[in-house]
Amino acid sequence: MRIVVVGGGRMGLPLASLFADNGATVTVCDVNSVLVDTINRGLSPYEEPDLDHYIARNVKASRLAATTNTTAAVHNANVVVVIVPAWLTEARDIDYSVLRAASRDIGRGLQPRTLVSYETTVAVGGTRSELVPVLEQESGLKAGVDFFVSFSPERVKANLVLSRLQQTPKIVGGYNTASTQKAVDLYKTYLGAPVTDVISLEAAELAKLAGMLYRDVNIALANELAALSEIVGVDFALVRDAANTDGESRLLLPGIGVGGHCTPVYPHFMINDAIRRGVPQRLSTAARAINDEQPARCVERLERQWKPVNGRAVHILGLGFRPDVKVDTYSTAYPLRDALLARGAVVTLEDPFYSDDDVRAAGFVPAHTGRDRMDAIVLNTAHTAFKEPNFSDWRAHGIEALIDGRNFWNADAVSGAGILYLGIGRDAALSPPNTL
């Protein structure tokens, strides 16, 4: 089996490596020549557990290679898997430009009987209406007759990609029955994960979006309940745990906001498409707004329960959108910074995975706890390195208040050091439950 993976990013490259590890001959196509050279030298460009071993052994065995020439690679392929970015336009609609460009390159080299499987999340109907016509126009071939098309959404996370690829069921839907069967056979044989056949392109597209919107709505509900808990004086962590004991509730965790490639982006694909179809997704729209407002809400709470931040040094801990991962796509550090600056704060940031130059390149001023002046702390990312700070030292260095945006720290330890603690859904004034 000769497989081409178009897109050598943090999700595409592990997928290609796993295909190769299961016996396929795989070519990774990417416009980044530095990335291509790194792969061909048998090295991993990403900090992803075990990926370096997969790449090294498959490059050595001549089962994995990379190129910038997508059309030439596709000309010799049995299967083409597409996993390139789809971002948001300024109007918060899906931007198909990268997908269309990749599809044009694929179409120019597409041969009869080839399967093209899209893994990039798109709006429902996007594969059939926006991408298949590009393949047909460039190739002169007819989808479902001369070549096969499927949609099988990426469903993994950075730092867990290889394990999730092999364990998470692979949702598959096709342009027609023959396309679906080709994709099912591909993923069963060369990925080894369970496969869930949902028959059509549109069903597979909607399955990915439905799961993402469920998560977004659930987090928004948790955030609203946490805000109420802060006002009425209860600990939402206790409330959540109690509510989830009946086997029917599964409230997720509240927090300072939602970041990453997926949750802040993909709901807009469905929200805007549904409006055009005359079926507005009111719940999903409200959830997205609630989660987007969390950083500013937390800053307002800091001012309400501490003091105005105008002229005060407020330090953000964490640029990454997830713990222990050097990825800051749509990180809530950015709206946090903007909300603080809008109120006149002097904003700094540190992250153990980013150098001071990295921090500056991201648009922040670097600083370090215990060394630089700061009046308040905002925890954005629950990195392991931030787990056990010396709160007494912080207080001695002038820190008066903190927002624990991930409910990561012991409120009593913070308060005991003389620092005002503001957790999500919990204040320092809330005592722990009586365990006697």
For residue 337, what are its two tokens? 């910074």
This prediction's pTM: 0.92
Instruction: Report the 10 Å Cβ neighbour count for 308.
Output: 12
Amino acid 429: pLDDT: 59
Q: What is the pLDDT along the chain (436 residues), one digit of tens a residue?
A: 999 999 999 999 999 999 999 999 999 999 999 999 999 999 999 989 999 999 999 999 999 999 999 999 999 999 999 999 999 999 999 999 999 999 999 999 999 999 999 999 999 999 999 999 999 999 999 999 999 999 999 999 888 899 999 999 999 999 999 999 999 999 999 999 999 999 999 999 999 999 999 999 999 999 999 999 999 999 999 999 999 999 999 999 999 999 998 999 999 999 999 999 999 999 999 999 999 999 999 999 999 999 999 999 999 999 999 999 999 999 999 999 999 999 999 999 999 999 999 999 999 999 999 999 999 999 999 999 999 999 999 999 999 999 999 999 999 999 999 999 999 998 755 544 433 3
Position 31: which residue type?
V
Amino acid 186: pLDDT: 97
Return the CA Rg of the chain. 24
Give backbone dihedrals phi and psi of 250, rounded to 5 degrees, phi first.
Answer: -145, 65
Whether the CB-CB separation of 347 and 337 falls below 8 Å is answered with yes
CA torsion angle 338 343 346 348 (round to 10): -30
Would you call 431 exposed, middle or buried from its count of C-beta atoms within 10 A (0-12, 13-18, 19+)? exposed
Amino acid 158: pLDDT: 83
Q: Could you give the CA distance from residue 129 to residue 118 in angstroms, rounded to a whole number?
A: 13
CA torsion angle 390 393 394 395 (round to 10): 120
For residue 127, what are its two tokens? 């594969």
Domains and CATH numbers, the chain: 2-193 (3.40.50.720), 235-427 (3.40.50.720)
Give backbone dihedrals phi and psi of 190, rounded to 5 degrees, phi first.
Answer: -110, 0
